[in-house]
A and B are shown apart, each in its own frame.
Chain A
Amino acid sequence: MSSHNPHDLSRRDFLKVVGSFVGSVMGLGLGLPLVSYFVSPALEVQGGDKWIPAGPLENYPIGQPTLFTFTLTKKHGWEKTSQSYGVYIIRHSDTDITVFSNVCTHLACRVRWHDDQEQFICPCHDAHFAESGEVLSGPAPRPLDQYEYKIEDGTLYIHLVEG
């Protein structure tokens, strides 16, 4: 304390440097793990690759889009939750089938088949899809998504790929 200005100044600077170093170490040391902590469940990919049995082929009349729904149980955190899926199955012949996801390609509302208009219509923003899945009108950016399928012993299986 006896020597004044020059000594004091450098001491002040030293303390500032140490202070900001220690502060940043603590900030980053806690901050980065906290970001990871908040984000981590989002990064967990629950990849699924399953063949879902959709019952006998006769359940689906030829030329008539028919809704088939199923649920899968998934583990989210400490909870098992059921996830619902819906698909429209259109049988053209005994071997030629189209399986549409009922999720609108616009903003993921569920589309419905309207018999009178012969169209899939989304109840949210009025997107219209043809029986072929093509966009007829409305804001949807692309045709309805399709699922792979296979037929074994007269039973239809839908290929669900996720993640």
Chain B
Amino acid sequence: MNEELKKKYWERYLRLKHKGVKFYPDVVYKDLVVSFALFLLLVGLAAFVGVKPEPPVDPNDTSYIPRPEWYFLFLFEFLKFIPGELEWVGATVIPGLAILVLLLLPFLDKNPHRHWSKRKVGTGVMTAIVLAMVGLTIRAVVTTPPQEEGPVALSLPEQIALGQELYSIHCAECHGPDGEGGEIQGVEGLEGVVLKPINSQDEMYTRSDQTLYNIIAYGQQDLGMPPFGRAYGGELGPAEIKAIVTFMRYTWDDRVELPAEAQGGGMPTLGPDEVPSYEEHVEPLVKRYCVSCHRPGKKNNNYLMTSYDEVMHSGDHAPVIIPGDPDNSILIQLIQRHELDFSRPMPPTKALPDDVVDIFVRWVAAGAPQTAAEADQIEAQQGGGAAPATPQP
């Protein structure tokens, strides 16, 4: 830009400035309004949308689909179009050049005009680039497969509940539902092995969280315990193992106090005339006492118990449950310790507590309702226990 043009610019600018407004309060006012709107927006987002919970780092989780923050997505997507051997051009040379051009823009652009209509090439190119960035971002979002994520337990009660559930699935089979140990029955390769309790004071006082974590992750293969950590060929990620350790610590260690909000969690309670439902009462019991063996890949006469459908309909001897007829339901017969020709009593090692058996019996007697709403309906029809009553006095 030559001196003459510079002079013309300043003359014009000073004239406009003279006709203009005071920075304070006119411009400051506008800035404040926008800032305030942003402030409300941020507080609103923090309060009503929050920050999405994520599981902790697990380098061994190969199912995780990595994605950058949304403002890098366009670049991420752009790399899909670059052939392998030229990847470095797309990944570093092109973005690097773009930044360099932006930096030097005032020196590269010799056009003295400022209005967009007199700079059609420049503004056109920029518009095309911005549209391409927006397009690539949208494409990246649309083509990203949904993330398969396990449960993320954040608060302590949630972690304990998750740990309890995972313990029942993965550990209860050998160590018993309450860590009491004893003789293993019905587990391939470990039949008859006697385990010491893992819920004792000795055990809890002498094993740190880290030790328990390592035992679960790595197993104790000389003693027959397989590894459970994904890193060693098991199924569990770090967050899940941590949840199991937390559950053990807060349930069996008498030095730590269970937080009030976690107390009584997990195990359902049932009023004397209440009709139990699968979702509210039976499912937690099934998870705690049965799923450990009654899931795919275990020896269980193909009777699976991971969902309501499976509980009702699966198995070599289906139906295992006859709604309304507890006495002829195989499930009830077995948990009441009857020996059948195709199965010993269940669970194999230790009888269920009476109140647990009672919940199962009353549930089947009432017609094995799935949801709490269905159970309420049955309760209303019975009018307080007139029809098929509980088998107990």
Contacting residues, chain A, for B39 (C-beta < 8 A): 26, 29-30
Complex Cα gap A11–B246 (Å): 63
Cα separation A22 to B28 with both chains bound (whole Å): 12
> Is A22 a contact partner of B255 (Cβ separation < 8 A)?
no
Nearest residue in A to B253 (C-beta to C-beta)?
Answer: A73
In the complex with contacts A25-B36, A26-B39, A29-B39, A19-B255 CB distance below 8 A: no
Contact A22 B25 (CB under 8 A): no
Question: Please, what's the 1-or-0 string for A104-116, where 1 marks a CB less than 8 Å from any CB in chain B?
Answer: 0000000000000
Judging by beta carbons under 8 Å apart, are B35 and A26 in contact?
A: yes
Q: Quick check: is B100 within 8 A (CB to CB) of the other chain?
A: no
- Within B188-209, which residues are at the interface with A (CB < 8 Å)? 209
> How many A-B pairs fall under 8 Å by CB?
30
On whether the beta carbons of B25 and A16 are closer than 8 Å, the reply is: yes
**Closest A residue, CB atoms, query B21:** A1
Residues of B within 8 A of A18 (CB): 29, 32
Residues A19 and B43 in contact in the complex (CB < 8 Å), given A25-B36, A72-B255, A73-B256: no
Chain B residue with minimal CB distance to A25? B36
Determine whether the beta carbon of A23 is less than 8 Å from that of B32: yes
| A12 on interface, CB distance cutoff 8 Å | yes
Partner of A15, one of B25, B36, B209: B25
Once the chains bind, are A19 and B256 in contact (CB under 8 Å)? no
Residues of B within 8 A of A80 (CB): 209, 256
Known contacts A29-B43, A72-B255, A73-B256; A19 and B35 CB within 8 A of each other: no
B103 within 8 A of A: no
Residue B26, interface by CB 8 Å: yes
The answer to whether B36 touches A22, judged by C-beta atoms less than 8 angstroms apart, is yes
CB of A57, distance to nearest CB on chain B (Å): 23
Q: Is the CB of B33 within 8 A of A15?
A: no
For residue A104, give the distance in angstroms from its CB to the closest CB of chain B. Answer: 28
For residues 94 through 129 of chain B, which have their beta carbon under 8 Å from a beta carbon of chain A? none
B35-58 Cβ-contact flags toward A at 8 Å (1 or 0): 110010001000000000000000
Residues of B in contact, count (CB < 8 Å): 13
- Is the CB–CB distance between B36 and A26 below 8 Å? yes
Alpha-carbon gap, A12 to B35, bound state (A): 19
A25 to B36, CA, bound (A): 9
Contact (A15, B29) CB under 8 Å given A29-B43, A72-B255, A73-B256: yes
Closest to B36 in A: A22
How far is the CB of A147 from the nearest CB of chain B, in Å? 19
A73/B255 in contact, CB under 8 A? yes
Q: Which residues of A contact B256 (CB under 8 A)?
A: 73, 75, 80
- Shortest distance from the beta carbon of A9 to any chain B beta carbon, whole Å: 11
Shortest C-beta distance, A58 to chain B (Å), equals 23
B25 engages A12 (CB within 8 Å): yes
- Give the distance in Å from the alpha carbon of A80 to the alpha carbon of B35 in the complex: 42
Chain B residues near A25 (CB, 8 Å)?
A: 36
B-chain residues with CB within 8 Å of residue A15 when the two chains form the complex: 25-26, 28-29
Flag A63-74 by CB within 8 Å of B: 1 or 0 each. 000000000110
**How long is the Cα–Cα vector from A29 to B42 in the complex, in angstroms?**
12
Q: Give the nearest-CB partner of B37 in chain A.
A: A22
A16 to B22, CA, bound (A): 13
Q: How far is the CA of A78 from the CA of B264 in the complex (A)?
A: 23
What sequence of 0s and 1s flags, for each residue 254-272 of chain B, a beta carbon within 8 Å of any chain A beta carbon?
0110000000000000000
Within 8 A of B (CB), among A24-40: 25-26, 29-30
For B29, the chain A residues whose CB sits under 8 A away are 15, 18-19
User: Please, which residue of chain A has its CB at the minimum distance from the CB of B38?
Assistant: A26
Residues of A within 8 A of B28 (CB): 15, 19
The residues of A that contact B36 with a CB separation of less than 8 Å are 22, 25-26
Please measure, in the bound complex, the distance between the C-alpha atom of A113 and the C-alpha atom of B271, giving whole angstroms. 60
Q: A22-B33, A29-B43 are in contact. List 10 more A-B contacts (CB 8 A).
A: A12-B25, A19-B25, A19-B32, A22-B35, A23-B32, A26-B35, A26-B39, A72-B255, A73-B256, A80-B256
In the A-B complex, list the 10 residue pairs whose CB atoms are closest, starting with the nearest. Answer: A15-B25, A15-B29, A22-B36, A26-B39, A22-B32, A19-B32, A73-B255, A12-B25, A16-B25, A19-B29
Can you list 14 contacts pairing A with B, beta carbon distance less than 8 Å? A12-B25, A15-B26, A15-B28, A15-B29, A18-B32, A19-B28, A19-B29, A19-B32, A23-B32, A26-B36, A29-B39, A72-B255, A73-B255, A80-B209
